[in-house]
Structure 1
Amino acid sequence: MAGISDEDIQKVRDASDVVAVIGERVPVKQKGRDFWCCCPLHQEKTPSFKIDPSTQLWHCFGCGEGGDVFSFVMKTEDLTFPEAVRRLAERAHIDIVEEGGRGIPASRKARLKEVCARTAEFYHTQLMRGRGPEADAARSYLAGRGFGGDVPNTWNLGFAPGRGALVRHLSQLGFSTADMIDANVALAGRGGPVRDRFYNRVMFPIFDVSGDCIAFGGRVIGTGEPKYLNSQETPLFHKSQVLYGLDHAKAAMASSGVAIVVEGYTDVIALHEAGIKNVVATLGTALTLRHIRVLSRHASKRIVYLFDGDAAGQRAADRALAFIDKSMTPEAGRSQVDLVAVTLPDNLDPAEFVAARGADALRALVDDAKPLLEYGIERRLANHDLQAAEGRARALEDCLGVLAPIKESILAKDYAVRLAGRLRLRENDVLEALAAKEPPRFQSRDDEDAPLAAAPPRPVRTLSRAERNRLRFEREFLGLVAQNPSVGLAHADALAQIQWHEDVHRLLADSILATLAENPAAAGVDIVTRAALVTPHAARVLTGSLGREGASAEETGAYLAEELALGDAEDAIGALRAQLAAGVTSEEAELLHTAIATLQMDVAARRVAHRAMPHS
Structure 2
Amino acid sequence: MPGGRITDEDIQKVRDASDIVAVFSERVPVKQRGRDFWCCCPFHNEKSPSCKIDPALQLWHCFGCGEGGDVFAFIMKAEDLSFPEAVHRLAERAHIDIVEVGGKPTAPASKKARLKDICKATAEFYHLQLMRLKSPEASAAREYLSGRNLGGKVPHDWNLGFAPGRGVLTRHLSSKGFKADEMVEANVCSRDSQGKLRDRFYNRIMFPINDVTGDCIAFGGRVVGKGEPKYLNSQETPLFHKSQVLYGLDKAKVAMASSGVAIVCEGYTDVIALHEGGVRNAVATLGTALTMRHIRILGRHAQKKIVYLFDGDAAGQKAADRALEFIDSSMTPEAGKTRIELCAVTLPDNLDPAEYMASHSAAELEELIEHAQPLLKYGIDRRLAAHDLSSAEGRSAALASALSVLAPIKDSLLAKDYAIQIAGRTRAREEDVLEALSKLAPPVRYGEASAEEAAAQAPVPAQGPARRALSKTELNRLRLERELLSVLAQNPLIALAHADSLAQTKWHDPLHSAIASSILDTLMSDPAASAAAIVSNAAAVDGRAGRVLTAGGSSTETASPEEVARFLAEELAIGDAEDAIEELRCQLANESLKGTEEYDFLFQATTALQKELLEKRLAHKPVAHEGRL
Quick check: TM above 0.5? yes
| 8 Å Cα contact 2:403/2:422 also seen in 1 | no
| 8 Å Cα contact 1:74/1:81 also seen in 2 | yes
SS at match of 1:317: helix
Cα distance in 2 for residues equivalent to 1:164 and 1:88: 35
1:99 is matched with which residue? Answer: 98
What CA deviation, in whole Å up to 9, does each residue of 1:210-241 have, x standing for no partner? 11000111111111111111111111111111
Structure 2: stretches of 5+ with no match in the other structure: 14-71, 454-541, 543-629
SS at match of 2:162: strand
1:211 is matched with which residue? Answer: 214
1:310 is matched with which residue? Answer: 313
Q: TM-score, normalised by structure 2?
A: 0.58
1:156 is matched with which residue? Answer: 159
- 2:260 maps to 1:261: no
SS at match of 2:364: helix
| 8 Å Cα contact 1:3/1:98 also seen in 2 | no
1:384 counterpart (360, 382, 387): 387
Could you say if the C-alpha distance between residues 240 and 195 of structure 1 is closer, same or farther in structure 2, counting changes exceeding 3 Å?
Answer: same
| 8 Å Cα contact 1:184/1:234 also seen in 2 | yes
Cα distance in 2 for residues equivalent to 1:243 and 1:104: 22
- 2:343 maps to 1:340: yes
Could you say if the C-alpha distance between residues 337 and 443 of structure 1 is closer, same or farther in structure 2, counting changes exceeding 3 Å?
Answer: farther
Task: Give the letter for the 1:373 counterpart.
Answer: L
Cα distance in 2 for residues equivalent to 1:233 and 1:87: 17
Question: 1:78: Cα distance to partner?
Answer: 4.7
Could you say if the C-alpha distance between residues 78 and 115 of structure 1 is closer, same or farther in structure 2, counting changes exceeding 3 Å?
Answer: closer
1:283 is matched with which residue? Answer: 286
1:252 counterpart (251, 255, 259): 255
Cα distance in 1 for residues equivalent to 2:379 and 2:126: 42
Deviates more, 1:166-175 or 1:97-106: 97-106
| 8 Å Cα contact 1:401/1:440 also seen in 2 | no
Cα distance in 2 for residues equivalent to 1:152 and 1:448: 43
Could you say if the C-alpha distance between residues 405 and 444 of structure 1 is closer, same or farther in structure 2, counting changes exceeding 3 Å?
Answer: farther
| 8 Å Cα contact 2:95/2:109 also seen in 1 | no
| 8 Å Cα contact 1:271/1:354 also seen in 2 | yes
Deviates more, 1:394-403 or 1:79-88: 79-88
- 2:326 maps to 1:323: yes
Cα distance in 2 for residues equivalent to 1:285 and 1:447: 19
| 8 Å Cα contact 1:160/1:200 also seen in 2 | yes
Cα distance in 2 for residues equivalent to 1:181 and 1:269: 28
SS at match of 1:346: helix
Cα distance in 2 for residues equivalent to 1:121 and 1:78: 30
SS at match of 1:300: coil
1:80 is matched with which residue? Answer: 82
Cα distance in 2 for residues equivalent to 1:449 and 1:4: 14
1:242 is matched with which residue? Answer: 245
Cα distance in 2 for residues equivalent to 1:180 and 1:191: 17
Task: Give the letter for the 2:323 counterpart.
Answer: A
| 8 Å Cα contact 1:265/1:281 also seen in 2 | yes
| 8 Å Cα contact 2:77/2:300 also seen in 1 | no
Question: 1:430: Cα distance to partner?
Answer: 2.0
1:178 counterpart (156, 173, 181): 181
1:438 is matched with which residue? Answer: 441
Cα distance in 1 for residues equivalent to 2:374 and 2:444: 22
1:517 is matched with which residue? Answer: none
**Residues 461-540 of structure 1 correspond to what in structure 2 (within 5 A)?**
none
Task: Give the letter for the 1:120 counterpart.
Answer: A
- 2:416 maps to 1:416: no
| 8 Å Cα contact 1:3/1:105 also seen in 2 | no
Question: 1:353: Cα distance to partner?
Answer: 1.4
Cα distance in 2 for residues equivalent to 1:245 and 1:349: 17
What CA deviation, in whole Å up to 9, does each residue of 1:269-324 have, x standing for no partner? 00000000000000001111111111111111110011111111111111111111
Question: 1:152: Cα distance to partner?
Answer: 0.5
Cα distance in 2 for residues equivalent to 1:263 and 1:136: 26
Task: Give the letter for the 2:234 counterpart.
Answer: S
**Residues 113-152 of structure 1 correspond to what in structure 2 (within 5 A)?**
113-152=116-155
Task: Give the letter for the 1:315 counterpart.
Answer: K
Could you say if the C-alpha distance between residues 302 and 404 of structure 1 is closer, same or farther in structure 2, counting changes exceeding 3 Å?
Answer: same
Cα distance in 2 for residues equivalent to 1:386 and 1:141: 45
Q: TM-score, normalised by structure 1?
A: 0.59
Cα distance in 1 for residues equivalent to 2:405 and 2:195: 53
Could you say if the C-alpha distance between residues 208 and 85 of structure 1 is closer, same or farther in structure 2, counting changes exceeding 3 Å?
Answer: closer
| 8 Å Cα contact 2:97/2:110 also seen in 1 | no
Deviates more, 1:340-349 or 1:300-309: 340-349
Cα distance in 2 for residues equivalent to 1:141 and 1:226: 17
| 8 Å Cα contact 1:100/1:106 also seen in 2 | no
Cα distance in 2 for residues equivalent to 1:164 and 1:9: 41
What CA deviation, in whole Å up to 9, does each residue of 1:378-420 have, x standing for no partner? 0110111111122212211111111122111111111112222
2:198 counterpart (172, 195, 199): 195
2:6 is matched with which residue? Answer: 5
What CA deviation, in whole Å up to 9, does each residue of 1:34-73 have, x standing for no partner? xxxxxxxxxxxxxxxxxxxxxxxxxxxxxxxxxxxx99x9
Question: 1:357: Cα distance to partner?
Answer: 2.9
RMSD: 3.1
**Residues 10-21 of structure 1 correspond to what in structure 2 (within 5 A)?**
none
| 8 Å Cα contact 1:206/1:217 also seen in 2 | yes
Could you say if the C-alpha distance between residues 244 and 76 of structure 1 is closer, same or farther in structure 2, counting changes exceeding 3 Å?
Answer: closer
Could you say if the C-alpha distance between residues 187 and 364 of structure 1 is closer, same or farther in structure 2, counting changes exceeding 3 Å?
Answer: same
Report how many residues are paired: 388
Cα distance in 2 for residues equivalent to 1:156 and 1:270: 14
Could you say if the C-alpha distance between residues 8 and 431 of structure 1 is closer, same or farther in structure 2, counting changes exceeding 3 Å?
Answer: farther
SS at match of 2:237: coil
SS at match of 1:290: helix
| 8 Å Cα contact 1:240/1:449 also seen in 2 | no
Task: Give the letter for the 1:387 counterpart.
Answer: S
Cα distance in 1 for residues equivalent to 2:271 and 2:90: 35
Cα distance in 2 for residues equivalent to 1:114 and 1:286: 29
What CA deviation, in whole Å up to 9, does each residue of 1:540-579 have, x standing for no partner? xxxxxxxxxxxxxxxxxxxxxxxxxxxxxxxxxxxxxxxx
Cα distance in 2 for residues equivalent to 1:449 and 1:129: 50
Cα distance in 2 for residues equivalent to 1:88 and 1:201: 34
SS at match of 1:240: helix
Cα distance in 2 for residues equivalent to 1:108 and 1:77: 21
Cα distance in 1 for residues equivalent to 2:135 and 2:247: 30
SS at match of 1:218: strand
What CA deviation, in whole Å up to 9, does each residue of 1:481-506 have, x standing for no partner? xxxxxxxxxxxxxxxxxxxxxxxxxx
Could you say if the C-alpha distance between residues 363 and 448 of structure 1 is closer, same or farther in structure 2, counting changes exceeding 3 Å?
Answer: farther
Could you say if the C-alpha distance between residues 122 and 75 of structure 1 is closer, same or farther in structure 2, counting changes exceeding 3 Å?
Answer: closer
| 8 Å Cα contact 1:2/1:100 also seen in 2 | no
Cα distance in 1 for residues equivalent to 2:211 and 2:77: 23
Deviates more, 1:426-435 or 1:102-111: 426-435
Task: Give the letter for the 1:82 counterpart.
Answer: P
Cα distance in 1 for residues equivalent to 2:233 and 2:388: 42
Could you say if the C-alpha distance between residues 152 and 97 of structure 1 is closer, same or farther in structure 2, counting changes exceeding 3 Å?
Answer: closer
- 2:372 maps to 1:369: yes
Cα distance in 1 for residues equivalent to 2:127 and 2:255: 26
1:223 is matched with which residue? Answer: 226
| 8 Å Cα contact 1:289/1:448 also seen in 2 | no
Question: 1:428: Cα distance to partner?
Answer: 2.4
State percent identity of aligned pairs. Answer: 65
Structure 1: stretches of 5+ with no match in the other structure: 13-69, 90-94, 451-538, 540-616
Question: 1:173: Cα distance to partner?
Answer: 0.7
Question: 1:347: Cα distance to partner?
Answer: 1.9
Could you say if the C-alpha distance between residues 100 and 375 of structure 1 is closer, same or farther in structure 2, counting changes exceeding 3 Å?
Answer: farther
